[in-house]
Amino acid sequence: MTTAQRIPARTRLLEAADRVLFERGIRDTPVDELLRQAEVSAATLYTHFGSKDALVAEALRVRLADWRAVWDQYIVAADNDLDRLLAVFDALASYRGDRRHPSRWCAFLAAASELPEAAEEISDVLAGDTALLADRLLHLSRPLAGGHAQDLADEVLLAYSGALAGFLRGSPRSPIDVGRRLAHAAARAHSRD
């Protein structure tokens, strides 16, 4: 015990936050629960982060960076334009399969929904997630749809968001598969003309 656990308190807090916050719900997770999970005292949390909101924001930023890295891998691994565009669904499947980042549906959309008037710091991360998705999908759409790249990108982003919302509905069929099919159909529709 003591500090022989080596992992610093700040890291343990962020990991506990990532593990609990988006699975149980941000509002439904009291600070005490985070303290218990991280095996950290209240004073430590407040010296490191200043507030629960700030910890939430930081946990979201970490998630966004992790997610971006996973997505990167799948884009690089794909070997044609279509697969590169659809890689976002493979990355999502992989990210959700990783038990270190559990989540009922989507951490960013959940934050937006649960905390409508959250600190700007928090809503900024959702904006960052959306911007990342929009920018990349637009870029990946260009070789497939040319002048209609913006339309295709919008459609894939919507299919992606729909897949996430599908988890909230508890769909019997895999939302990721359905979303992928949908994006595929959109890509074919745009590459035909």
- Contacts with its own copies by CB under 8 A lie at 24-25, 27-28, 104-105, 109-110, 112-114, 116-117, 126-127, 130, 150-151, 154-155, 157-166, 168-171, 173, 175, 178-179, 181-182, 185-186, 188-189
* 94 closest CA partner among 130, 75, 70, 59: 70
Helix 149-169 and helix 81-97: axis angle, to 10°?
20
31 near DNA (CB under 7 A)? yes
Does residue 25 belong to the site contacting DNA (CB under 7 A)? no
Asked if 23 and 102 count as a contact pair (C-beta separation under 8 A), the reply is yes
Smallest CA-to-CA distance from 95 within 169, 145, 172, 167 is with 167
By beta-carbon proximity to DNA, the closer residue of 51 and 171 is 51
Nearer to DNA, 41 or 73 (CB): 41
Q: Which listed range, 8-16, 75-83, 92-100, 132-140, lies at the site for DNA (CB under 7 A)?
A: 8-16
* Distance in angstroms (rounded) separating the CA atoms of residues 20 and 158: 27
Which among its own copies, DNA, none contacts residue 175 (Cβ within 5 to 8 A by kind)? its own copies
